[in-house]
Amino acid sequence: GNDNRLRGNGAAPVQLQALDRKAVFTHPDQTVTRMFFSELEGNYDLTNDIQLSGNAYFRQNRIKTFNGDDSDFEACDENDPNSLMCDEDGANVISIDNQEVRADQVLANNDDPGATNNTSATQMRSRGGTLQATFNQDLFKHENNLVVGVSYDNANVHFASDTELARLTDDRGTVGSGIFVDESKVRLHTNTSTVGVFMTDSFSITDKLTATIGGRYNYSHINMEDQYINDPEKNLNGSHTYERLNPSAGLTYQALDNLNVYGSYSESSRIPTPMELSCADPEAPCRLPNAFVADPPLQQVVAKTWETGVRGDLNRFIPHDGDLKWNLGFFHTINHDDIIFNRGGDSVSEGFFSNVGQTRRYGIEAGTTANLPQLFSAIDDWHFSTNYTYLNARFQDRFDIQHPTAVDANGDPIRAIVGNGDRIPGIPEHIFKASIGVDLWKKLSLGINGTYSGNKVFRGDEANLTPKLSGYWLFNATAEYKVTENFTLFGKLDNIFDTNYNSFGVFGVANEVLPGFDDGRFVSPGAPRAGWIGLRLSM
C-alpha cells in the first residue's frame, strides 16, 4: 500500500523556471494518493505432470487533487461594474445553483486576473483472479509444455470533479469564491469487466529448437453512468463492448551451449479507458484532467510486434564461479488505431481523444550483467550491469492538430499537419542505464547507478514544430547493511549531483498571469537531490 502527498507538482513556464527553478506558476497544487493491495496465490499438483495454480487480488486506490490554476473565465465587460462572468466563447457562466455569476462575486476588480480551483476525487476498487493448468507431458515423444487458463478482472470507479471560480493573489495563489461552475461539474461512475481465456504451448522440435504458439481471447465491457447531467445532449452515459483474439508464435534455437537465438510474433490490444471515451467528441472538447462532456465510441488499439535477437554468456572466462551474460534484440511494433489527445477548442488545455491510424515503434535493446566473486580479495563480490535501448517512435498516418503556439490574426489557434515520420511526444529515443555494486563480508552492500534519458518532444507538439525537451543524466547511490538474516539497515541517495533537469513538457498560456511570458512551453522540473534511510524486517 501507500499514502502519499505531493505538493507543487504542476508544470511551470520555461521563462519562469529560467528565473527560479523553485518557482511555481499558480498554486496550490496538491495530490493525495492512497492505495491498498492484497493478493492470494496458490498451486496444487494433481499429478507429477499436471499442476493447477491461481491467484486472486483486491486493489483500492483513492486519489484527490486540488489545483489552483489560471482561468478561462473573466468579466464580460471590464467597464461595467455590474458585469457578468463569461467564458472564452462569450457565454455567461452558470453556477451549479443555476444562477448567472456576477464578476464582483469573484473578482475585486473587473480587470483583475481570474483563477479557478479545480478539484477531483477518484475512488477505484478492482478485483480479479486467474486460474490455470500446466501440463508437462511429452507429445509424440518430444518435450511439451501446455498452459491453459482463464482470468477475470473487474473495476468500479467513482470520479468527481468541480471547478470553483477564484481570483489570483499577488504571489499567484488563489482565493476561492464558493461559486462552482455548472458546466464543469462531473459525477461519473464506470464499471469495467474483462474475461480472458488463454493458451500457450511450447514444443521441443529437437533438443535445440523449441516452437511456442499461443493465444488470448479478451471480452471487455465498459458501462458508464453519468450521475450529473447538465446537458441531455452531452451526457456521459454509455455502454461499450470490445473483444479480440490475440495470437502469438515464436522459435528459440540453442545454437551453442552459450548462445541462444530467438524470434517471435505477437499481437496485443488495449481497450479505450473511460477517460478517453468520455472525452472523444471533436464538437465538444473537454478540459483535461477533469471536465468530461460526451461519450462517442473509440476503436481499441491493436499492437502487432515482431522480435528477434540473441542471448548468451561468457561464463567460462569468469573465475570463482562468476557469470557474464549478454543480450541483443530488435523489436518492431505497429499500433493500429492508436489514441492521442488532440488539442482543440478555445483553450490550449481543451481537446478530445481520437484514433489517429497507425503509429510505429522499433529499435534495439542491448544489455550485459556480470557477477564477479572475490574480484580483488576474499571479501568482495562485484556486480555490473549495462542496458541500452534505442526506441524510434513515430506517427505513420497524416492528421491535423492544433498548432501548439501559433495563432492567426484574430488570435485564434491555427491547425498544423502531423506527417508520416513525425516523432511521438513524450518518448525518448535513447535510454542508457548502468550500475556497479559490491558486497563486502557478505553483510555490507554498496552501489551506484546512472541513467541517461534522451530528448523528448513536448506533449501537444505531434507535428514536431518546437524545440525538444533536453535529455539528462541522473546518478543514484544505495547502501545496505545486513544486521541479521531478517534485519537490514538501508540508505539511498537520489540525484547525487543535484542535476537540474525537466521530466515533462507541455504547452500553456502564461502571459495572462505573467505579462511578457509569451513562450508557450511549460516544463515539470525533476526531483532534486534527496536521501532516505530506513530498516527492513523480513519474517
Q: Three-state SS string across 263-292, please? A: EEEEEEEECCCHHHHCCCCCCCCEECCCEC
The pLDDT mean for the chain works out to 92
Percent of the chain past pLDDT 70, that is, above it, reads 96
pLDDT of residue 291: 54
CA–CA distance, 277 with 139 (Å, rounded to integer)? 46
Cβ contacts of residue 322 below 8 Å, gap of 6+?
A: 315, 370, 371, 372, 373
> Cα–Cα–Cα angle for 293, 298, 299, nearest 5°?
170
Phi, psi angle pair for 470, to nearest 5°: -65, 150
| Best mean pLDDT range from 13-22, 466-475, 510-519 | 466-475
Residue 407 has pLDDT above 90, yes or no: no
Mean pLDDT to the nearest integer, 244-257: 97
Task: Cis check for the bond before 467: say yes or no (omega within 30 of 0).
Answer: no
Three-state secondary-structure class, residue 376: coil
| Best mean pLDDT range from 63-72, 229-238, 422-431 | 422-431
Cβ contacts of residue 8 below 8 Å, gap of 6+?
A: 24, 27, 29
Phi, psi angle pair for 255, to nearest 5°: -65, -40
pLDDT of residue 295: 55
pLDDT-based confidence at 307, cuts 50/70/90?
A: very high
Q: Which residue has the higher pLDDT, 288 or 36?
A: 36
pLDDT of residue 128: 98
pLDDT-based confidence at 405, cuts 50/70/90?
A: confident
Window from 155-159, 226-230, 243-247, 298-302 with minimum mean pLDDT: 226-230
pLDDT of residue 222: 95
Residue 185 has pLDDT above 80, yes or no: yes
Residue 436 has pLDDT above 60, yes or no: yes
Task: Find out whether 162 and 121 touch, Cβ atoms under 8 Å.
Answer: no
Residue 114 has pLDDT above 90, yes or no: no
CA–CA distance, 150 with 199 (Å, rounded to integer)? 9
How many domains does the chain divide into?
A: 1
Provide the grid cell at 532. 532516505
pLDDT of residue 444: 96
Task: Find out whether 494 and 529 touch, Cβ atoms under 8 Å.
Answer: yes
pLDDT-based confidence at 285, cuts 50/70/90?
A: confident
pLDDT in tens, 338-361: 999 888 766 666 788 899 999 999
Residue 368 has pLDDT above 60, yes or no: yes
pLDDT of residue 287: 64
pLDDT in tens, 149-180: 999 999 999 999 999 999 998 888 999 999 99
Sign of the alpha-carbon dihedral angle for 92, 95, 100, 106: negative
pLDDT of residue 297: 80
| Best mean pLDDT range from 20-29, 241-250, 395-404 | 241-250
Residue entry with cell 518430444: 142
pLDDT of residue 345: 64
For residue 163, the domain's CATH number is 2.40.170.20
pLDDT of residue 320: 82
CB atoms within 10 A of CB 11: 21
pLDDT-based confidence at 296, cuts 50/70/90?
A: low
CB atoms within 10 A of CB 275: 19
Three-state secondary-structure class, residue 104: helix
pLDDT in tens, 443-493: 999 999 999 999 999 999 999 999 999 999 999 999 999 999 899 999 999
CA–CA distance, 197 with 473 (Å, rounded to integer)? 43
CA–CA distance, 450 with 478 (Å, rounded to integer)? 12
Element (H, E) at 462: none
CA–CA distance, 356 with 492 (Å, rounded to integer)? 43
CA–CA distance, 172 with 427 (Å, rounded to integer)? 32
* Of 258, 371, 383, 261, nearest in space to 316 by CA: 258
Mean pLDDT to the nearest integer, 491-499: 97
Q: Is the pTM of this model over 0.85?
A: yes
Phi, psi angle pair for 317, to nearest 5°: -95, 0
Provide the grid cell at 167. 481570483
Residue 235 has pLDDT above 60, yes or no: yes
pLDDT of residue 375: 87
Task: Identify the DSSP state of 502.
Answer: E
Element (H, E) at 118: strand 114-136
Three-state secondary-structure class, residue 16: helix
Task: Find out whether 302 and 266 touch, Cβ atoms under 8 Å.
Answer: no
> Cα–Cα–Cα angle for 142, 146, 149, nearest 5°?
175
pLDDT of residue 82: 85
* Of 146, 116, 143, nearest in space to 132 by CA: 146
Task: Find out whether 416 and 401 touch, Cβ atoms under 8 Å.
Answer: yes
pLDDT in tens, 252-272: 999 999 999 999 999 999 999
pLDDT of residue 200: 98
Residue 313 has pLDDT above 90, yes or no: yes
CB atoms within 10 A of CB 468: 17
> Cα–Cα–Cα angle for 493, 498, 500, nearest 5°?
135
**Range of the structural domain that residue 516 is part of:** 2-537
